[in-house]
Amino acid sequence: MQGVNTKERIILGIDPGTAVMGYGLVKQTGSKLELISLGVVKMGNLDDHMLKLQRIFEKTVALIDNYHPDCLAIEAPFYGKNIQVMLKLGRAQGMAMAAALSRNVDITEYAPRKIKQSITGNGNATKEQVAGMIQRLLNFTETPDFLDATDGLAVAVCHAFQRNVAGGSSSSTSKKSYSGWDTFVKDNATRVSGVGKKK
């Protein structure tokens, strides 16, 4: 017997990047959404790529420790022509995911198109269109670094919408979930050698 799901949860959304990481946190109670926080982590002053990755990990852990989210929703790197940019974005995303896994926070990954579609109804929406819709949904005024912050917030809102659409369990080819190292290893046995094998 399934009633209306009014359980409260906090969702951390992250749009990973190596120059700027956008993030947003929302509280979801049933179908009601409330803005907790949004902002950016700037890394333009760091020359070393490894230091940028360290900053992403540390800032994500700090957000988790500060706000205690129930889950992390993260944007997947988009497929671009520049393989070096994709590699760097993938590393940035990996660091945020590793931070969440280190705190046993569930992770769901969303394709950029899925996020835009979920927020605006248009998979090709501009950053400005997504930001405008997020602003109306959560009823807040513009902030500095507005677009980078709302990109992170959009991922969190997209994740919140999935529960409402699918009644708590959604299956979609444009998202991937992991609840810890064990499930990640199980789903990626061919990518992880010597891990997860029974002795």
pLDDT surpassing 50 at residue 199? no
- Asked whether residue 74 is domain-assigned, the answer is yes
Report the alpha-carbon distance of residue 175 to residue 106 in Å, rounded: 13
15 an active-site residue?
Answer: yes
- Considering the entire predicted model, what is its pTM? 0.80
Taking only the tens place, the pLDDT of each residue in 140-188 is: 887 656 788 999 999 999 999 997 554 433 333 345 555 555 655 556 5
Taking only the tens place, the pLDDT of each residue in 83-142 is: 888 899 999 999 999 999 999 999 999 999 999 999 999 999 999 999 999 999 999 887
pLDDT the model gives residue 143? 65
Cα-to-chain-centroid distance, residue 7: 20
Residue 165 pairs with which residues in a beta bridge? none
pLDDT surpassing 80 at residue 189? no
Query: For residue 106, how many other CB atoms are within 10 A of its CB?
Result: 18
Catalytic residue among 65, 106, 145, 148: 148
- Asked whether residue 195 is domain-assigned, the answer is no
- Return the sign of the alpha-carbon dihedral for residues 63, 16, 53, 38: negative
- Asked whether residue 192 is domain-assigned, the answer is no
CATH of the domain at 26: 3.30.420.10
75 an active-site residue?
Answer: yes
- Asked whether residue 189 is domain-assigned, the answer is no
pLDDT the model gives residue 140? 87
- Asked whether residue 191 is domain-assigned, the answer is no
- Asked whether residue 198 is domain-assigned, the answer is no
Range of the domain at 138: 8-184
| Cα separations in angstroms, 8 against 50, 114, 136, 166 | 37, 24, 22, 17
pLDDT the model gives residue 197? 41
Catalytic residue among 47, 58, 65, 75: 75
SS3 at position 37: strand
- Asked whether residue 70 is domain-assigned, the answer is yes
Mean pLDDT throughout 17-26?
94
- Asked whether residue 59 is domain-assigned, the answer is yes
Report the alpha-carbon distance of residue 130 to residue 107 in Å, rounded: 22
Q: Structural domain tally of the chain?
A: 1
